[in-house]
Amino acid sequence: MILYVVRHGETDWNRAHKVQGHTDIPLNNYGRHLARETAEGMKNLKIDLAYTSPLSRAKETAEIILAGRNIPLIEDSRIEEFSFGNYEGMYCGGDNKDPKSADFNRFFTDTENYIPPSDGESIPHLYERTGDFLAWLCKKEELQDKSILVSTHGAAMTALLNRIKGNLSVAGFWRDEVPPNCAVTIVEVAEGTPVIKKEGVIYYKEKVKPWKAC
pLDDT per position as a tens digit, 66-93: 999 999 999 999 999 999 999 999 999 9
- Report the pLDDT value the prediction gives residue 213, as an integer from 0 to 100: 46
Model confidence, pTM: 0.95
The rounded distance, in Å, linking the Cα atoms of 2 and 214 is: 36
Percent above pLDDT 70 for the chain: 97
Task: Give the C-alpha distances (Å, rounded to integers) separating 32 from 9, 55, 74, 122, 151.
Answer: 6, 15, 20, 30, 14
Q: Pick the catalytic residue: 10, 60, 81, 121? A: 81
- Report the pLDDT value the prediction gives residue 188, as an integer from 0 to 100: 98
pLDDT tops 60 at residue 214: no
Name the residue type at position 36: R
Q: Pick the catalytic residue: 8, 17, 22, 153? A: 8
Q: In degrees rounded to 5, what are phi and psi of residue 129?
A: -75, -40
**Residue 40 appears among annotated catalytic residues:** no
**Residue 128 appears among annotated catalytic residues:** no
Query: Which is it for the CA torsion 162, 63, 23, 182, positive or negative?
Result: positive
